[in-house]
Amino acid sequence: MLAFTSFANAASIINSNETITVTIKGVPQMEQIKISAEYVIDARGYLFMPFIEGGIKASGLDSSALARKIESAYRNAEIYTTPTITIITRRDVAEAETIAKIVTVGGKVGRPGPVPYRENMTLYQAVLAAGDANEFGAMNRVELFRNGKRYVYNLKRVDSEHKNLKVYPNDTITVPQTNWRGQ
């Protein structure tokens, strides 16, 4: 959760008419329940929070700057002494969900490891995203591991339908080393 929060706080600029989720810590539990919720930034770019009169100008700020501004407003109004605010926009959530989706590519590729998953990504695209197979990679025996099962595909042939095979988040692909025959 900490990594997600850090990502969300470093996210994009907040706009008018945008929905954000505000979470407050460092205050009594009953106060957290009153304040932690979804809010809509009004058409003029203001956010209206419980106990803060006049609203807070939110549009044009990133999530982190807005969180610090809300904390200051509560401290300056002497409502809370140590509030900690977290702001998450719907865009932050969508981006985090996309980033969380990966395909792992290993073996004889340029950059083995996680590859960001894209909707409708193919087996061939995933291997290419990992830096393509090097001279020792057996593209005719690419292994796909999905749901505990192993599948072997030939990506070497130009007309191979295996190149268009869809991959899914959490799939693991391995490009094995070529054998003594170079295959």
89 pLDDT band, cuts 50/70/90, is: confident
pLDDT digits (tens, 9 = 90+) for 15-34: 999 999 999 999 999 999 99
Map out the domains of the chain with their CATH numbers.
Answer: 2-96 (3.30.1950.10), 102-175 (3.10.560.10)
pLDDT tens for 92-151 read 776 666 667 889 999 888 889 999 888 899 999 999 998 876 667 788 899 999 999 999
CA distance 166 to 23: 38
Q: What is the pLDDT of residue 7?
A: 40
Q: What is the pLDDT of residue 134?
A: 64
DSSP string, the chain: -HHHHHHHHT-PBP-TT-EEEEEEESS-HHHHHHH-EEEE--TTSEE--TT-TT-EE-TT-BHHHHHHHHHHHHHHTTS-SS-EEEEEEHHHHHHHHHHH-EEEEEESBSS-EEEE--TT-BHHHHHHHTT-B-TTB-GGGEEEEETTEEEEE---STT-GGGG-B--TT-EEEEPBP-TT--
Residue 3: band (very low, low, confident or very high) from pLDDT cuts 50, 70, 90: very low
Q: What are the pLDDT digits (tens) for 141-150?
A: 999 999 999 9
* Residue 91 or residue 165, greater confidence: 165
What confidence score (pLDDT) does residue 97 get? 66
CA distance to 37, 38, 79, 80, per residue, from 31 (Å): 12, 15, 11, 10
